[in-house]
Each structure stands twice: as structure tokens, then as C-alpha cells.
Amino acid sequence: MLFSRPDGTRVKDANAPRRIMPFIMKTRNESAVYFEQHIDLTKALPFIDTWNAAKPDKKITVFHLFLWAVVRAIAQRPRLNRFVMGSKLWQRDGIWISFSAKKKLEDGAPLIVLKRRFEPAISFSDCVDLIYGDVKEGRSDKLSHVDKELKLFLSLPGPLLRLGVGLLRWLDRWNLLPGSFIHPDPMYASMFIANLGSVRLDSAYHHLYEWGNCPFFAVVGRTRDVATPEGKRRMCSIKYSFDERIEDGLYCAKGLELVKELLEDPTAPPP
């Protein structure tokens, strides 16, 4: 167990600068790089309108397109699907995306956090079906695995809870944390996506969680009119926080450029 993990495989061909980074920059937030994309939705919005007219029971937004584009881009750029744990670099087993949603679209409604594995070549239609299924289950009264764990942990006295969390972190660093803890936890994912556009807010840079091993956080902002040299365009902003210890900036930038291309023209044939 010390030399293997239930969620990844050790990367052994990384160059020396990449291998030394986790020893110099020990935390994700110390290693965070921030990047913003401005997405031209001229082609995407008509695609969304056409889809919603044809499938009113499964309406989509920019968020659905973005999540699908992320999955396809990670499949094409697999070195983005890595993480650091125990000062070592690991290749994640599968493309896992976590995202948040409101239980109800009301002030004060609790937030739910969902996580799912997506197949690399998943179609957009299948992706939408999976998201709808997860959100429906998350908004039900059924307690998730994480909810049950939190209910148990929060029943402990504060000092004992701190001791327990510290023990879990230690087990994780030494690759001894069981898969039963890791697989349902949304902080063990390829990327975490927050959709602020759903509550009509602009995107914002988000911190990376030190718990778990998620190296990417993306925040999708609201759709708005922007004046450009070509005239007024409907656009949105996406802001990323990225743990640069997993891969260099050029490789990452090319992966995010692929996300942008897929999102701006969803009718184009996928790569």
C-alpha cells in the first residue's frame, strides 16, 4: 500500500524539476496558478436553444457544455489528470469531475456536491443524462455517502474530530487511506467545477482545497453582453486555479484552449 494508491498510479518518467517541485512547494495553494478565459458564445447559445426546444425535459446550459468539453480535453491531454500526494506525482485512474448544485433554487437552500467518473469518449447526450441523474439523486432526501460520513464525524467532540481528520491526512500521505474514503469524496477529482452563472454571478478565482488531491478548480460565470471590435457579443468568463506541480503551463494552456474550442463551437466534430 505504501507504493500504490486506489485512485492512481505513480508517475515515474517525470523530469527532475517536476519531481522536486512537491518538496519545494508543499501545498496546492502555494503552487496555484490562476488563469481566465473569455468564451464567445455566439455559436454555443443557438446550440443550447435548439437542444432545449427539442428536449424540454432535459434542458442544458453553458455548464453542461463546459463539463463535457473538460472531459474531452482531459482525455486528449492526459497529463492534466495528475495529482500530488506524499510529495510524489500520480496519474489519476479515470476522469473524475466534481460539481456543486443547489438543493433548490432558493435563498438558504443547502448546497450539494456531486462527483462522477466520465468515460473519455462520452457523447454530449450521455453526459447530459448522467448529470441530470446525479442532480436528481442529490436533490432527493436520500443521504449520500459523504453526508453519512459527515454526520458521523460531526457527532464527535472537537478535539477528537481534529485528531481523526489529522489521522486521515496522515494515512492519505502514506497511501494508506482506503478507496472507500477516496472514491465518494468530491475533493479527490480531476477537476471541481462551480457554476456561478446559475445564480447570475460573474466567475471568481477559487482556492484549491488542501484536503483530497484535486489540482484544478474552475468557476463558470454568467452570460453577458461584451463590446468587442467585431461588435456586441454574448460571452462568459471562466476562471481556473491550477496546481502547477502536476504539469507545465504550456501543456495546461493547450488543454484549456481545447476546452475553449469545444465550448465555443459544440457542433464541430470532436477531436
Supply the pLDDT for residue 271: 57
Of 116, 122, 186, whose CA–CA distance to 149 is shortest? 186
What residues are paired with 95 via a beta bridge?
118
Backbone φ and ψ for 10, nearest 5 degrees, come out as -60, 135
8-12+20-229+242-264 is classed CATH 3.30.559.10? yes
Supply the pLDDT for residue 105: 59
Backbone φ and ψ for 51, nearest 5 degrees, come out as -60, -50
What number of other Cβ atoms are within 10 A of residue 265's Cβ?
14
- What's at 244, amino acid-wise? E
CB-based contact 67:263 (threshold 8 Å) = no
* Stretch (H or E) spanning 169: helix 158-173
State the pairing for strand pair 95-102/191-195: parallel
Taking the C-alpha atoms of 129, 130, 131 and 134 in order, what is their torsion angle to the nearest 10 degrees? 120
Supply the pLDDT for residue 208: 97
The three three-digit cell numbers of residue 247, written as one number? 504539469
**Domains of the chain by residue range:** 8-12+20-229+242-264
- Output the tens digit of pLDDT for each of the chain's 271 residues: 577 999 999 999 999 999 999 999 999 999 999 999 999 999 999 999 999 999 999 999 999 999 999 999 999 999 999 999 999 999 999 999 999 876 665 666 677 889 999 999 999 999 999 999 988 887 777 766 677 777 877 888 989 999 999 999 999 999 999 999 999 999 999 999 999 988 889 999 999 999 999 999 999 999 998 888 878 899 999 999 999 999 998 999 999 999 999 999 998 766 5
CA pair distance 252, 144, nearest whole angstrom: 33
Task: Tell me the pTM.
Answer: 0.92
CA pair distance 29, 14, nearest whole angstrom: 21
- What's at 94, amino acid-wise? G
Supply the pLDDT for residue 104: 64
Angle formed at CA 255 by CA 31 and CA 14, multiple of 5 degrees? 55
CA pair distance 210, 109, nearest whole angstrom: 26
